[in-house]
Homo-oligomer: A and B are copies of this chain.
């Protein structure tokens, strides 16, 4: 399997680390050849015979450049690399951009699918903005477009519904899908301020320098749209999601709820009402004996409702880069293994 990476931030580096330390993981049976690594900021390197991933990782770490022993910077842009190079699977791990409606990631993915190449992406943007178009193209070309890590860092949700709940109709879901806001709400319950909570989340490496994507609810809205589009066959984007962030929530409100045996949680929700899918992201009071109340810090959870089962909830304990990278690897395994849809 010949792989092209576009985007080589923390998730990609962790993915590469796992692939170069395969001996640590007895069941991991995947020997890909990485023929290119392209980034927006550091340029790209390519080698049709396969890059030495260890050298690339070392060079990035020690010299902050992709240029390493035998490799010089490529003259191609990431999009050109997707359009021109000889690979089997594009691993698309560029940054999410809500304001750009999933671009440039969607264009990279489109370019690969158009050429009949499968795509693995950890990017929620294209799933939130362009899912049906990209999926249709993948189906037409007979290739796969997989994105398990786009929401809930690789916890099996998209793949679970696709492979293990084929006969049921998903009627709705609810969940906690954004670690930063969940952390800040917990922090305020314990007496801290909103600003301090943001700062602590930044120190933990979870919140961005500009935290408003999280605190204004854009990130969870994108995740809600992604889940709704894939699990419920909705055709919405993050702008269609009724969205209220947590910036109006005060420590007093959190503590007051706690006194009444409740917790304030930013709940992502989608439901089919009169044949239409309604999606929302807003702070809800959650009862203390609802499992959602126990999702603290950077955990995540989704409760799935369907016509042929009582609700099933998947909870992820304190996921980090390992989980996101594993989601990418699991999708790669699904592409290499023809017995998995």
Contact = CB atoms under 8 A, between A and B. Distances in A.
Contacts of A1: none
A312 B18 CA distance: 20
Top 10 A-B residue pairs of the complex, sorted by shortest distance between their CB atoms: A156-B164, A339-B341, A308-B326, A313-B315, A159-B164, A311-B317, A163-B163, A28-B167, A27-B169, A310-B317
A167 B315 contact: no
A341 B163 CA distance: 9
Given A310-B317, A323-B310, A329 B167 contact: yes
A1 to B, nearest CB: 13
A164 B160 CA distance: 7
A276 interface: no
A159 B167 contact: no
A289 interface: yes
A18 B322 contact: no
A267 to B, nearest CB: 16
B311 A167 contact: no
Interface string A29-69: 11000000000000000000000000000000000000000
B166 A164 contact: no
Contacts of A165: 156, 330
27 contacts: A24-B307, A25-B168, A25-B308, A26-B169, A26-B307, A27-B166, A155-B312, A156-B160, A160-B160, A160-B164, A163-B163, A163-B340, A164-B330, A166-B333, A166-B340, A167-B329, A309-B319, A309-B322, A309-B326, A310-B320, A310-B322, A310-B323, A312-B316, A313-B315, A313-B317, A315-B315, A339-B340
